[in-house]
């Protein structure tokens, strides 16, 4: 292309100058219009929470200053339609091309494909690039062309593939375009990323702990590689202090590229090996494994675009989640009576951040102790986390809930008391976030209900008054969880038997007892398809809608797709009204299969979390081959001290 090219660079979650393929391509070929479009109406139920929006605002301001220094102002637009805003930009400057970096969540996939088709139809060139991953999701399949559904096999295949580690250098100068004055742009304050004065005052506290922006992301990365990476293997499970990289919010908004992270970490590893430092290899491999999990989260969402609302495994559509809003509220407010869980939830609400180990503990408690639908917990995390990330949150919650082939066992029930003694042995973390227990001795702080009355009196703790009794006792949680699993298997078996029309043979029985893992087959790419271009889910040439569809016959097992395969989830008839579905728990409440409603609650920081409404219907699932998705940050799968797992109750043959 000639130097006369006029290109719109559509920024989204790639808010950086360095190693930005879309920006580099535009700068190389002519004049550039950098634009960021904020369209709240298109965010739907995944409208970012307060902390995430604060980060976005600060990161945009940082990016705008950098682009201004290079010669091009960043155009900010608040719009009702992203497509209309892009068309306005194209028309105003006479652009012939729009470039952008890929996103992989199902909402962005649908939007990007629609915009791409519309602009191509108008004769406008569209180019997209990989600015977020080491490997594109459509590049990694097994020997049969099937998408992987377990992390270890996926990552093992990835490690055999070459990695493009040469970053796109930051441009030294950008050539601005004329006609910017014709664009209906907005100031950063008028984007509406901070919706009230209360939010502004609360956000001021965030700036004391965090510094968004791509330059700050690079400083954070360099600091971690120089000072934190070597001891990562032994420090990463400590829930107090700075023991992890703290890169996740920067990665979410693309302020640092994963290629740059990989390259710096590998170079540091080579340096340490030359210096003979022991333990470096383990730390590097564990850290890169966490990077691999992020890659896998994009891979799953891309290949199975229903996973933001339904479990990967088909059996769990029968799982009897409990739509108990009171328990959900107690969990969100940190009032469950289990100190480590409550401390984690209070830290999350106050700061928008908590250590990954604490996230595992509180999410496991929600879905296993309280049987709260995992989609509710995922949505709450999305609303409050500073580093809220749809793909990573989907992977985390489905893994903890047992909705993945290599996730936690359905029957696994972790004891918060034992976890507290392991991860917060002195009670320092609990005392920080639960002032009611600040004077409790370490011996009793993780199970105050067992403490003698004299200890409680000296500590100023009145159970049931200034700190709650446990919301559910361990043995009752165990019983309810076993009942839920038994109910799921009975419903699943009944449905499969009904599909057999009475033809029950040994081969059929073995199929009945298995987990339903969806399969996605990759078809050969068209030779004319650009290698770097964004792929979209298709079925025989037609774009897949990301909505539940009932599949019949052999279509339930295998779905062939063109360029990027995508999956439809098996969703045959519900048995919610059958006698078996009305099985009651020991507490007398009717099991049901709810789905978290999508309305987003707008609250000030001074309000306590509360009041999410129950949705109409829901799904859920779980599975067979368990090979440790969470090895990077979840080493307790074989820890009998913290795990009270029992064998799941499967139907008798």
- Residues making up the annotated binding site are 232, 244-248, 287, 387-389
Query: Which pair of tokens denotes residue 427?
Result: 């009670």
The sign of the torsion formed by the CA atoms of 98, 101, 106, 108 equals negative
Helices (H), 94-141: 106-121
**What's the alpha-carbon Rg for the chain, to the nearest Å?**
25
Query: Which pair of tokens denotes residue 577?
Result: 């009204």
Whole-angstrom CA distances from 216 to 35, 248, 464 are 21, 13, 45
The sign of the torsion formed by the CA atoms of 538, 551, 106, 144 equals negative
Q: Rounded to an integer, what distance in angstroms lies between the CA atom of residue 19 and that of residue 11?
A: 13
The answer to whether 214 touches 256, Cβ cutoff 8 Å, is yes
Reference 596, options 385, 381, 356; nearest CA is 381
Block residue for tokens 């219009």: 33
The answer to whether 169 touches 572, Cβ cutoff 8 Å, is no
Query: Which pair of tokens denotes residue 530?
Result: 């650009």
Reference 24, options 134, 128, 171, 160; nearest CA is 171
* DSSP annotation of 539: E
Q: Are strands 538-539 and 542-543 parallel, antiparallel or unpaired?
A: antiparallel
The sign of the torsion formed by the CA atoms of 128, 129, 130, 135 equals positive
Query: Could you tell me which residues are beta bridge partners of residue 643?
Result: 414
Annotated binding site for FAD, which residues?
Answer: 232, 244-248, 287, 387-389
Q: Rounded to an integer, what distance in angstroms lies between the CA atom of residue 195 and that of residue 192?
A: 6
Query: Which pair of tokens denotes residue 629?
Result: 């998705």
**Angle subtended by helix axes 106-121 and 82-93, to nearest 10:** 40
The sign of the torsion formed by the CA atoms of 502, 506, 509, 515 equals negative
Query: Could you tell me which residues are beta bridge partners of residue 519?
Result: 558
Q: Rounded to an integer, what distance in angstroms lies between the CA atom of residue 538 and that of residue 560?
A: 8
Q: Rounded to an integer, what distance in angstroms lies between the CA atom of residue 617 and that of residue 326?
A: 19
Reference 643, options 233, 336, 339, 364; nearest CA is 364
Length of the chain in residues, anyone?
653
Give the up-direction half-sphere exposure of residue 479: CA atoms within 13 A in the CB hemisphere: 10
Query: Which pair of tokens denotes residue 118?
Result: 């519309």
């Amino acid at each position: 292309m000639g130097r006369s090219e006029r290109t719109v660079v559509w920024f989204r979650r790639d808010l950086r100058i360095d190693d930005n393929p879309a920006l580099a391509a535009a700068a190389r070929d002519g004049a550039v219009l950098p634009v960021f479009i904020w369209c709240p109406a298109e965010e739907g139920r995944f409208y970012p929470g307060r902390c995430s929006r604060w980060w976005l605002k600060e990161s945009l301001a940082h990016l705008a200053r950098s682009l201004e220094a290079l010669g091009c102002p960043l155009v900010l637009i608040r719009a009702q339609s992203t497509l209309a805003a892009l068309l306005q930009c194209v028309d105003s400057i006479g652009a012939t091309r729009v470039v952008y970096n890929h996103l992989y969540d199902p909402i962005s996939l649908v939007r990007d494909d629609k915009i791409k088709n519309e602009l191509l139809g108008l004769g406008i060139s569209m180019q997209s690039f990989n600015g977020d991953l080491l490997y594109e999701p459509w590049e990694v399949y097994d020997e049969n062309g099937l998408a992987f559904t377990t992390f270890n096999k996926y990552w093992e295949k990835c490690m055999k593939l070459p990695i493009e580690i040469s970053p796109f250098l930051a441009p030294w100068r950008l050539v601005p375009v004329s006609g910017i004055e014709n664009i209906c742009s907005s100031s950063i304050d008028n984007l509406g990323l901070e919706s009230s004065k209360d939010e502004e005052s609360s956000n001021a506290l965030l700036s004391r702990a965090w510094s968004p922006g791509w330059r700050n992301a690079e400083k954070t990365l360099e600091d971690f590689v120089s000072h934190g990476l070597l001891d990562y293997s032994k420090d990463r499970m400590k829930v107090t202090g700075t023991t992890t990289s703290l890169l996740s919010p920067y990665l979410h908004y693309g302020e640092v590229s994963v290629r740059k992270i990989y390259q710096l970490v590998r170079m540091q590893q080579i340096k340490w090996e030359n210096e003979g430092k022991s333990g470096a290899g383990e730390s590097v491999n564990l850290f890169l494994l966490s990077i691999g999990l992020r890659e896998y989260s994009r891979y799953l969402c891309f290949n199975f675009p229903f996973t933001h609302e339904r479990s990967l495994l088909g059996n769990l559509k029968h799982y009897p989640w409990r739509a108990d809003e009171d328990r959900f509220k107690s969990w969100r407010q940190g009032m469950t009576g289990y100190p480590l869980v409550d401390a984690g939830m209070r830290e999350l609400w106050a700061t928008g951040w908590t250590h990954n180990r604490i996230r595992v503990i509180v999410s496991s408690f929600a879905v296993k102790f309280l049987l709260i639908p995992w989609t509710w917990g995922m949505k709450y995390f999305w609303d409050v986390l500073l580093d809220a990330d749809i793909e990573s949150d989907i992977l985390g919650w489905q893994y903890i809930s047992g909705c993945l082939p290599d996730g936690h066992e359905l029957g696994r029930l972790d004891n918060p008391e034992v976890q507290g003694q392991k991860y917060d042995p002195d009670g320092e973390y609990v005392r920080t976030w639960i002032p009611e227990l600040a004077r409790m001795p370490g011996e009793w702080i993780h199970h105050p209900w067992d403490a003698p009355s004299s200890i409680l009196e000296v500590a100023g703790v009145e159970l049931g008054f200034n700190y709650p009794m446990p919301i559910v006792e361990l043995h009752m949680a165990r019983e309810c969880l076993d009942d839920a699993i038994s109910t799921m298997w009975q419903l699943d078996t009944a449905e499969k038997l009904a599909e057999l029309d009475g033809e029950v043979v040994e081969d059929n029985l073995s199929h009945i007892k298995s987990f339903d893992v969806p399969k996605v087959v990759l078809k050969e790419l068209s030779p004319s398809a650009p290698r770097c271009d964004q792929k979209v889910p298709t079925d025989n040439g037609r774009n897949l809608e990301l909505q539940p569809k009932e599949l019949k016959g052999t279509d339930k097992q295998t779905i062939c797709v063109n360029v990027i395969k995508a999956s439809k989830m098996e969703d045959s008839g519900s048995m919610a009204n059958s006698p078996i579905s009305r099985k009651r728990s020991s507490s007398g409440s009717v099991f049901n299969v709810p789905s978290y409603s999508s309305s987003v609650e707008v609250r000030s920081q001074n309000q306590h979390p509360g009041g999410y409404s129950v949705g109409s219907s829901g799904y859920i699932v779980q599975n067979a081959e368990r090979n440790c998705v969470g090895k990077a940050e979840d080493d307790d799968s074989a820890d009998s001290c913290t795990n009270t797992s029992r064998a799941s109750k499967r139907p008798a043959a």
